Amino acid sequence: MFASFRFVPVPSFLRGPVVKTLRILILLGLLTGSLVGGEPAGAAVVIVENQTAEKVEFTIRRPDGRESQHALLPGELTPIAVTSPVKIVFDSDGRLRRYALQINNIYCFVRRDERLDLSTLAFPAPEGATYKQAMGSTDGGSRPSPGAVDSVYTVSVKILADDEEPRVRALWEKELRRRLAAASEIFERYCRVRFQVAAVDTWVADKGIHDFNQSAAEFERNVSPAPARLAIGFTGRYNWAAGENHMGASRGPLRSHILIRGQLVRVSEPEKLEVLVHELGHFLGAVHSPDGTSVMRPKLGDRQSCARSFRIGFDAPNTLAMYLLGEELRRRPIFRLSELPPESKASLQRVYAWAAKALPDDPAAPKYLELLDAP
């Protein structure tokens, strides 16, 4: 994660004042990635969603002539990594349709006039926007470096159980490893991010705290995520204050700690998995969604995930947000939303502005908008 440097003697012909200035500029270029081969201005993706009641097949054609075939069942979506605008081709009841897809946009298959067609999910431009509006731009916006569309970013995780966990370590560790692996598969599918266990440990929780959010803050103060980037604690406590119904807590995007209730009465394993995916979604920049089937709906525990036909998944706007943040993480270490390049900030700003309008009483999206501009 951190660059290491070693000092090498500088030849005499590279010691003049002008050359020294050039050396400084070169070093700054290496640190910021602004020289040839450095990081791009921002990530790029298109999200395609099927909002019809039928299976849809389509082809993506890239500027270099390469093609890829895709199929979406009703309600499914897929992110497609790109380096520039692409074309989509599909059969609309015997008529071949072609559209140009701009980067960092969401496109939805719909039925229009009884024919299969493609619609763009319109995001409102946030008031007082300070960033270049990359979404929907006709020039394709920023482009990732060649070959960057094929890899997966790995987030190292330290899983912990507190001293109230009643089971022996072998049992709870096996269960938590399996749950994190199941969550990781979901994120790899939606945003090419993998969560991988780097360490397992325990911690002693303050038994005098009966508020879940206070307990989460105490967990963050007293537990180090090292050697991982993210610490996920599963508390076995059950004596929370009356009315305390939080199932998980995180401090938001890229923060180093998540706390989840391990002792959940009458909660099935699919519901526990959904809580974990929800909190990991927040870590990757996802906000609460008005989509009642999305894992980012504000309130879980509604038994939806217990249905055999239910598949834990994300809504399209949050898929876009997580994908962009995951791509930026893959390029360099990032620990705050404010460290993102302007083009990615612009895309996230529109997603969060949309969510803030859709859920005006929810604090998550307005908070994330603030974090984009935080010093």
The pLDDT tens digits for 93-117 are: 999 999 999 999 999 999 998 899 9
Q: Quick one: pLDDT at residue 265?
A: 61
Q: How far is CA 263 from CA 130, 240, 244, in A?
A: 45, 11, 13
pLDDT tens, residue by residue, 285-311: 999 999 999 999 988 876 777 777 778
Confidence of residue 243 (pLDDT cuts 50, 70, 90): low
- The structure's pTM equals 0.82
Tokens at residue 26, please?
């070169």
pLDDT tens, residue by residue, 311-341: 899 999 999 999 999 999 998 899 999 999 9
pLDDT tens, residue by residue, 250-298: 889 999 999 998 766 677 888 899 999 999 999 999 999 999 999 999 8
Sign of CA dihedral 201, 196, 310, 299: positive
Tokens at residue 164, please?
């109230």
Query: What does the alpha-carbon distance between residue 269 and residue 312 come to, in Å, rounded to a whole number?
Result: 12
Q: Quick one: pLDDT at residue 42?
A: 55
* Closest to 286 in 3D by CA, of 329, 242, 323, 327: 323
> What domains, with CATH codes, occur in the chain?
45-122 (2.60.40), 149-338 (3.40.390.10)
